[in-house]
Amino acid sequence: MSVSAYLSGALILISGIALSGCFSSGQADYAQQAKRTSLGDLANKRSSETVASVEMSQTQRSAKLANIYQQLLTLEPDPEIRTHVEYRLAQINTESFEAQSYADLDDESQPDSQVLAQLTQNDAALQKLVNEYQQLLQRYPQRPENEHIQYQLAKALDLQGKLDASLAEVESLLRHYPQTMYLAELNFRRGEIYYNLQNYSAAITAYQQVLTANDNQKYQLNSLYMLGWSEFKLNRLANADKAFLQVFEALVAGQQSNRDIANLTSDNFAFEKLGSRAQNLAIDTQRVLSISLSQQLQSQSLVSLVNANQSLPNINLYQHVLFANLAQFLLDKKLDYDAELTYQAYIDLAPDNIWAARYSLNLLDLYQRQGKFAAMHQLKNDYVNQYGLSSTFWVNASTAQQAELLPQLLSFSDEHSRRLYADAQTQQGAQRISAFAQAASALNTYLQLAKLPQASTLLTRDILNDEYLFADANFEAKQYQQALASYYAIAYDTTATSAALRKIQQQSAYATTVTIREIISQHDQSQQKQSGQSNTDDYTTLISQRNQLDKDFINQYPSDERALQLASNAAQYSFDAKNYTDLKYFTDFVLQAHAIHTINNAVSSVQTATPLSDAARKQVQFVSQLYANSLYQQEQYAQAEEGYILALQYTDKSTDSWSEMRNLLASSIYFQAQAVKQTEPELAVSQLLRVAQAVPESKYAVNAELDAANLLLEQQRWQEAVDVLKPFQQRYPHHEFSAVIPAKLAQSYEALAQWDLAAEQLLIIVANEKPGALKREAQYTAAEYYLKAGDNSSALSTFRTYAKTYPQPFDVAQEVRFKMSEFYRQSGEANKQYYWFRQILSFDRKQLQQDANAIQARQIELASIAAFSLGEAEQRSFAAIKLNAPLQKSLKRKQDTMKKAIGYYQQVLDFQLAKYVPHATYNLAEMYRQLASDMMSSQRPGDLDELALEEYEILLEELAYPFEEKAIEIHISNTQRAWDDIVDQWIEKSFKRLAQMSPALYQKQELTHEVIDAIH
């Protein structure tokens, strides 16, 4: 054993398990030993044990450990262990230095000489550490612990003021350990050193690497700040500005734990509300940012900066502060115009922010100081538009914000509206209309603000005159709808007390009637320009509104001389509104004004007292016609008939009103008939026929005649109804009502059992009706009627048309196809009968694919009949084919026919109707048996010798055997239905057939399904 090895073992024994080393591979119980502690573990370990009666300070402990490790080094241990010891010793010395260095320098009671001695002692200790670090790095250049040693060396050199040497170590460390745990700190130190050396580009690179490093929180804020300064020093002002924004973001984000700060909004945010350290940094950053912006394009550069960084989480919180600081900075420099631009830039950037409103007032003060009155007016208008009631800002503003802005909004809008109104009064023509429109808009803005509940304490005068001014401005601007609404609100406001206000109200009330007429005139002109026709709905609405306003004026001011003309209008409104009491009142109002006796129950006795002027006659004519119309609307038709006779006394025969009332007279007679048709039908018929006698030119005459026929039909007076309908059909072949006459005649002929005539009328309906259910049903019913009339030929033709035309409804179409097959069964035309059977099956398959639920029991039975009948027909053809030599030709024809029959019988089986399934099953079995029998009895070739013929016979048996077996199998399946209590003659026949066939066949091994398929 060498001395070194011995010393290594001794050191291991001395230090217990403190040092890391190699274990002997011969130790069998290695797995049971405790994990050996390393020097690295000791470096991080703080012993919790205390030696009795002994307590050591951190300095004492470090000195003691250093002494122990120094002694270990004198023993010349193993190189690896020596290395660990030296590194641990360096660590202990570092800890001791950090604990002792400058420990007492903050004690002001120490004399200067003692402080100086302490500093000298610290410098010596620091130099000693530097030497140790450098020696370790030189002796052990590849050790992993060098990362920490080199880090400590760089710090120590920095403490000594050797910036170049410290920087060299930092660069070396970053180069050798690019992922070092000290990455953020080292780059920050690099940045500081480069900045102090005025190498700003290198400083920028270092600070940027801090920002991208992990665990950089300690250095992030200062790095951002110094990054901005470095860019500023290089005159890269845009980059500097962006970095300063990042400083603001970090300051705000760092204060989020403070509830008061976190609850700040852009309305009340200021950096002065942050913590003291954040305030100072924010103030410095704002100052340098303002300086940077002032050296660029000032407000333009700030707008570009803010817009380019809208993705920053908090920029909207403090961006207004940046503009305020820049504006104040420029004002301090006596650059008032540039300050104006700065305020305006923010207003343009964030017009819906409360700070834009506040900065508008700042800007207004600047304008006022400089005497820029035009700019002041424009700014005030912009203020009202941007922050008034219709603005996005106001809708979203808080109550406090609205209260803050309302005084300025009232003042600015009032001043602007009165200026515009005064100017509009001096204009002429189109310019006057436009000017009053602007004045009305401005007055409306002011009134909306003044009517706010919170504005009541801010007003200094009553707003009624302003409201009237607003109405007049709208009228002068030809904005009649708004003028009307304003006049009406003034006219019928019950709060007015003074005589002057009531006079304004009466004038406003009449102004409503004038204004609505201007609206109607304007509407008519607009419609004429567009199409020459008036929109009836709009026009009716306007007339109703006009009449209501007339009525309001008459009721409110009945003694006003203008009320008479308006009363006529009110009568029309009352009629339109079906207010017959008011109609009577206004009618009497007009008649009494013209000295005419009012209308009473004896309406025919009304006479005028004095001759009337044309204008008066028109008024009387108008209201008397309305009264007659009201009787009609109240369904007082007998009185209405007399009323129209009266109204016609005041009506010129050449007018449209004369024709209209004649028609209403006919209608009154018509509805008298309608009223008694249930209780006195004969009287009703008489009244209906009277319409044509009294007013032959009326459209009701035609209606009444047809209604009389309908009433006769309802009373089942069939022949009389026919006697009315046939002449009407002949007189008015193209009349719209003639289209329904065939149906009515068909109904009458049906009731009279004149089936062929009824069918003819139904076919007329078919010819004229559009495709649909009615046309289809008429076609079907006509065919049925021909059957009842015994006209089978017409019935067949009509049913055929139906079958070709209407595949739906499915159930009816199938019945018609079956009827067609029955026609041809009766006539003995089998091929035509089979055609319709195939049609039934074809449409059944289609329906099954489209909607299987539509196939009900009856349709299944029809399909079963068709399939079974076709199967029987094919089976008869099958039986008729003889098997002659050569066998393969005749056998193929016979099998092809058999397959067709099987296909039809299989459909019967698929339909699963017990009525047909046993029979079809029996027929299937019989075909197989018949085929086997026919094969055995088929014609033999004539050119075979005895042996060949014997072999041929065996071949026939082999060919016939599967078919015979199949027949037995099918018969057996048929007989098994007896177990389900299904017994009919065909099941019994299957039993009998099985009894006739050789029982030995049951013992034969059944051929596989594949063999039978092969034969097929």
Report pLDDT for 226: 93
Asked if the model's pLDDT at residue 989 lies above 60, the reply is: yes
Using DSSP's 3-state secondary structure scheme, residue 509 falls into helix
pLDDT at 258 over 70: yes
Q: What is the mean pLDDT of residues 55-71?
A: 57
CB 820 within 8 A of CB 796: yes
DSSP symbol at 736: G
Q: Please tell me whether the overall predicted TM-score, pTM, comes out greater than 0.75 for this model.
A: no
Lowest mean pLDDT among 147-151, 176-180, 454-458, 528-532: 528-532
Q: Give the Cα separation of 72 and 66 in Å (integer).
A: 10
Average per-residue pLDDT in the chain? 80
3-state secondary structure of 885: coil
Q: What is the rounded CA–CA span in Å between residue 702 and residue 793?
A: 39
Q: Letter for the amino acid at 895?
A: Q
Give the pLDDT band (50/70/90) at residue 7: very low
The DSSP result for 674-713, as a single string, is HHHTTT-HHHHHHHHHHHHHH-TTSTHHHHHHHHHHHHHH
pLDDT band at 665 (very low <50, low <70, confident <90, very high): confident
More confident residue, 524 or 982: 524
Using alpha carbons, select from 608, 625, 703 the residue that is nearest to residue 659.
625
Whether the pLDDT of residue 835 is over 50: the answer is: yes
What pLDDT score does 408 carry? 93
> What whole-number percentage of the chain has pLDDT above 70?
84
**86 — pLDDT class (breaks 50, 70, 90):** low
Give the Cβ contact number of residue 916 at 10 Å.
21
First CA to last CA distance, the chain: 102
Query: Which of 113-122, 130-139, 409-418, 618-627 is the most confident on average?
Result: 409-418
Q: How far apart are CA 891 and CA 751, in angstroms?
A: 62
Please say if the pLDDT value at position 512 is more than 90: yes
* Cα–Cα nearest to 302, from 315, 314, 284: 315
Which whole number is the average pLDDT over 410-432?
92
Q: What is the pLDDT of residue 1007?
A: 42
Q: Closest Cα partner for 350 from 360, 363, 365?
A: 360
Residue 617: predicted pLDDT: 77
Tell me what pLDDT residue 419 has: 92
Instruction: State how far the Cα of 1015 lies from the Cα of 601, in Å rounded to an integer.
Output: 105
Q: 804 with 870: CB under 8 angstroms?
A: no
Q: How far apart are alpha carbons 633 and 579 in whole angstroms?
A: 11
Helix axes 563-576, 536-556, angle to 10 degrees: 130
CB 684, CB 673: distance < 8 Å: yes
Alpha carbons 900 and 923: distance in angstroms, whole number: 13
When pLDDT is cut at 50, 70 and 90, the band that residue 425 belongs to is very high
CA distance 409 to 389: 9
Q: What average pLDDT score do residues 789-815 get?
A: 85
Q: Dump pLDDT digits (tens) for 743-759.
A: 888 888 888 888 888 88
pLDDT band at 1014 (very low <50, low <70, confident <90, very high): very low
Average pLDDT over residues 446-450: 90
**For the chain, what is the radius of gyration of the CA atoms?**
58
Instruction: Please report where in the chains the tokens 């009827």 appear, as a residue.
Output: 819
On whether the CB atoms of residues 721 and 741 are closer than 8 A, the answer is no
Q: According to the model, what pLDDT value does residue 533 have? A: 56
Average pLDDT, stretch 486-496?
Answer: 85
The CA-atom distances, in angstroms, between 253 and each of 1, 191, 282, 317, 972 are: 67, 24, 13, 11, 93
How confident is the model over 875-922, as pLDDT tens digits?
898 988 898 888 778 888 988 999 999 999 998 888 888 888 999 999
123/927: higher pLDDT: 927
Q: Are 417 and 442 in contact (CB under 8 A)?
A: yes
pLDDT band at 100 (very low <50, low <70, confident <90, very high): low
Closest by alpha carbon to 591, among 602, 601, 583? 583
d(CA 389, CA 452): 10
Q: Scanning the structure block, which residue is given the tokens 């700042």?
A: 362
Q: Once rounded to an integer, what is the mean pLDDT over residues 477-495?
A: 90
Q: Cα 743 to chain center, whole Å?
A: 51
Encoded amino acid at 16, one letter: G
Scanning the structure block, which residue is given the tokens 């009103």? Answer: 657
Cβ atoms 881, 890 nearer than 8 A: yes
Q: How confident is the model at residue 97 (pLDDT cuts 50, 70, 90)?
A: low
CA dihedral angle for residue 349, residue 353, residue 358, residue 360, rounded to 10 degrees:
40
**What pLDDT, on the 0 to 100 scale, is given for residue 811?**
83
Q: Give the whole-angstrom CA distance, residue 480 versus residue 512.
A: 9
Per-residue tokens: 521: 């005139």
Reported as a pLDDT band with limits 50, 70 and 90, residue 47 is very low
Structure tokens at 692: 């044509």
